[in-house]
Structure 1
Protein backbone atom coordinates (compact mmCIF):
# COMPACT_ATOMS: atom_id res chain seq x y z
CA UNK A 1 0.00 0.00 0.00
CA UNK A 2 1.49 3.34 -0.93
CA UNK A 3 1.63 6.35 1.37
CA UNK A 4 -1.18 8.23 -0.45
CA UNK A 5 -3.55 5.30 -0.18
CA UNK A 6 -2.62 4.85 3.48
CA UNK A 7 -3.23 8.56 4.14
CA UNK A 8 -6.60 8.48 2.39
CA UNK A 9 -7.68 5.37 4.30
CA UNK A 10 -6.66 6.93 7.62
CA UNK A 11 -8.50 10.16 6.78
CA UNK A 12 -11.57 8.18 5.71
CA UNK A 13 -11.63 6.24 8.99
CA UNK A 14 -11.15 9.38 11.08
CA UNK A 15 -13.92 11.13 9.15
CA UNK A 16 -16.27 8.16 9.65
CA UNK A 17 -15.43 8.02 13.37
CA UNK A 18 -16.04 11.75 13.72
CA UNK A 19 -19.40 11.49 11.94
CA UNK A 20 -20.40 8.60 14.21
CA UNK A 21 -19.39 10.58 17.31
CA UNK A 22 -21.35 13.63 16.17
CA UNK A 23 -24.38 11.48 15.33
CA UNK A 24 -24.28 9.85 18.76
CA UNK A 25 -24.14 13.15 20.62
CA UNK A 26 -26.99 14.55 18.48
CA UNK A 27 -29.08 11.46 19.29
CA UNK A 28 -28.28 11.79 23.00
CA UNK A 29 -29.24 15.46 22.87
CA UNK A 30 -32.58 14.69 21.22
CA UNK A 31 -33.49 11.97 23.71
CA UNK A 32 -32.30 14.14 26.61
CA UNK A 33 -34.57 16.95 25.46
CA UNK A 34 -37.49 14.55 25.06
CA UNK A 35 -36.85 13.22 28.58
CA UNK A 36 -36.79 16.74 30.01
CA UNK A 37 -40.12 17.58 28.34
CA UNK A 38 -41.65 14.31 29.54
CA UNK A 39 -40.56 15.06 33.12
CA UNK A 40 -42.10 18.53 32.91
CA UNK A 41 -45.36 17.09 31.55
CA UNK A 42 -45.36 14.45 34.28
CA UNK A 43 -44.94 17.14 36.93
CA UNK A 44 -47.89 19.09 35.53
CA UNK A 45 -50.04 15.95 35.39
CA UNK A 46 -49.10 14.98 38.96
CA UNK A 47 -49.95 18.45 40.31
CA UNK A 48 -53.30 18.40 38.49
CA UNK A 49 -54.06 14.88 39.72
CA UNK A 50 -53.17 15.82 43.29
CA UNK A 51 -55.52 18.81 43.13
CA UNK A 52 -58.44 16.84 41.67
CA UNK A 53 -57.84 13.95 44.09
CA UNK A 54 -57.94 16.38 47.02
CA UNK A 55 -61.10 17.97 45.60
CA UNK A 56 -62.77 14.55 45.43
CA UNK A 57 -61.84 13.94 49.05
CA UNK A 58 -63.30 17.32 50.05
CA UNK A 59 -66.52 16.18 48.39
CA UNK A 60 -66.66 13.21 50.74
CA UNK A 61 -64.74 10.46 48.96
CA UNK A 62 -62.13 8.69 51.04
CA UNK A 63 -58.73 7.76 49.66
CA UNK A 64 -59.80 4.12 50.03
CA UNK A 65 -63.00 4.74 48.03
CA UNK A 66 -61.08 6.40 45.23
CA UNK A 67 -58.54 3.58 45.18
CA UNK A 68 -61.33 0.99 44.98
CA UNK A 69 -62.72 2.89 41.98
CA UNK A 70 -59.33 2.47 40.29
CA UNK A 71 -58.18 6.04 40.78
CA UNK A 72 -54.50 6.42 41.46
CA UNK A 73 -53.68 7.78 44.91
CA UNK A 74 -52.29 11.28 45.13
CA UNK A 75 -48.54 11.37 44.71
CA UNK A 76 -48.24 14.07 47.33
CA UNK A 77 -50.55 15.27 50.04
CA UNK A 78 -52.04 18.69 49.63
CA UNK A 79 -49.86 21.37 51.12
CA UNK A 80 -51.08 24.01 53.46
CA UNK A 81 -51.19 25.01 57.04
CA UNK A 82 -52.00 22.12 59.39
CA UNK A 83 -55.31 22.37 61.18
CA UNK A 84 -55.07 23.72 64.67
CA UNK A 85 -56.27 21.32 67.32
CA UNK A 86 -57.94 22.87 70.34
CA UNK A 87 -56.70 21.55 73.65
CA UNK A 88 -59.16 19.55 75.68
CA UNK A 89 -60.77 21.45 78.56
CA UNK A 90 -59.12 20.82 81.90
CA UNK A 91 -61.31 18.87 84.30
CA UNK A 92 -61.72 20.45 87.74
Structure 2
Protein backbone atom coordinates (compact mmCIF):
# COMPACT_ATOMS: atom_id res chain seq x y z
CA UNK A 1 0.00 0.00 0.00
CA UNK A 2 1.08 3.54 -0.69
CA UNK A 3 -0.66 6.79 0.14
CA UNK A 4 -0.52 10.56 -0.05
CA UNK A 5 -2.56 13.21 1.70
CA UNK A 6 -5.10 14.97 -0.46
CA UNK A 7 -7.19 17.96 0.53
CA UNK A 8 -10.11 19.07 -1.60
CA UNK A 9 -9.76 22.51 -3.17
CA UNK A 10 -12.12 25.27 -2.13
CA UNK A 11 -12.91 26.45 1.37
CA UNK A 12 -10.10 24.82 3.36
CA UNK A 13 -11.96 25.32 6.64
CA UNK A 14 -14.66 22.93 5.39
CA UNK A 15 -12.51 20.67 3.21
CA UNK A 16 -12.61 16.96 3.82
CA UNK A 17 -9.12 15.55 3.92
CA UNK A 18 -8.55 12.23 2.26
CA UNK A 19 -5.95 9.53 1.83
CA UNK A 20 -5.20 7.97 -1.52
CA UNK A 21 -4.24 4.32 -1.47
CA UNK A 22 -3.07 1.74 -3.96
CA UNK A 23 -2.74 -2.00 -3.57
CA UNK A 24 -3.40 -5.38 -5.10
CA UNK A 25 -5.20 -7.01 -2.18
CA UNK A 26 -8.91 -6.13 -2.00
CA UNK A 27 -9.24 -7.32 1.62
CA UNK A 28 -6.28 -5.18 2.72
CA UNK A 29 -7.69 -2.15 0.89
CA UNK A 30 -11.03 -2.65 2.63
CA UNK A 31 -9.30 -2.78 6.03
CA UNK A 32 -7.15 0.27 5.30
CA UNK A 33 -10.18 2.16 3.98
CA UNK A 34 -12.10 1.39 7.19
CA UNK A 35 -9.14 2.65 9.24
CA UNK A 36 -8.93 5.84 7.16
CA UNK A 37 -12.66 6.45 7.67
CA UNK A 38 -12.26 5.88 11.43
CA UNK A 39 -9.86 8.85 11.43
CA UNK A 40 -12.53 11.04 9.84
CA UNK A 41 -10.80 11.03 6.46
CA UNK A 42 -12.07 9.97 3.05
CA UNK A 43 -10.31 6.98 1.43
CA UNK A 44 -9.50 7.39 -2.27
CA UNK A 45 -8.74 4.13 -4.07
CA UNK A 46 -6.35 4.79 -6.96
CA UNK A 47 -6.18 1.21 -8.20
CA UNK A 48 -3.65 -1.58 -8.01
CA UNK A 49 -0.08 -1.42 -6.77
CA UNK A 50 1.17 -0.16 -10.15
CA UNK A 51 -0.31 3.23 -9.14
CA UNK A 52 1.90 3.45 -6.03
CA UNK A 53 4.74 5.14 -7.91
CA UNK A 54 2.36 7.94 -8.92
CA UNK A 55 1.33 8.47 -5.30
CA UNK A 56 4.97 8.52 -4.23
CA UNK A 57 5.72 10.98 -7.04
CA UNK A 58 2.98 13.28 -5.77
CA UNK A 59 4.77 13.30 -2.40
CA UNK A 60 8.01 14.32 -4.10
CA UNK A 61 6.09 17.01 -6.01
CA UNK A 62 4.68 18.35 -2.74
CA UNK A 63 8.15 18.53 -1.19
CA UNK A 64 9.55 20.31 -4.26
CA UNK A 65 6.71 22.84 -4.31
CA UNK A 66 7.13 23.52 -0.61
CA UNK A 67 10.85 24.11 -0.92
CA UNK A 68 11.23 25.80 -4.30
CA UNK A 69 7.80 26.96 -5.49
CA UNK A 70 5.36 27.93 -2.77
CA UNK A 71 8.07 28.28 -0.14
CA UNK A 72 6.12 26.61 2.67
CA UNK A 73 3.70 23.76 3.34
CA UNK A 74 0.62 26.00 3.54
CA UNK A 75 -0.95 24.57 0.36
CA UNK A 76 -2.71 21.44 -0.78
CA UNK A 77 -2.96 19.17 -3.79
CA UNK A 78 -6.53 18.79 -4.95
CA UNK A 79 -8.59 16.34 -6.92
CA UNK A 80 -11.15 17.56 -9.39
CA UNK A 81 -13.75 15.04 -10.47
CA UNK A 82 -14.47 15.28 -14.16
CA UNK A 83 -17.83 13.53 -14.32
CA UNK A 84 -18.62 12.16 -17.73
CA UNK A 85 -15.01 12.54 -18.90
CA UNK A 86 -13.83 9.81 -21.24
CA UNK A 87 -11.10 7.52 -20.01
TM-score over 0.5 (shorter chain) = no
TM-score tier, shorter chain, comes to under 0.3
CA radius of gyration, larger in: 1
> More relative contact order in 1 or in 2 (CA 8 Å, sep 6+)?
2
Higher helix share: 1
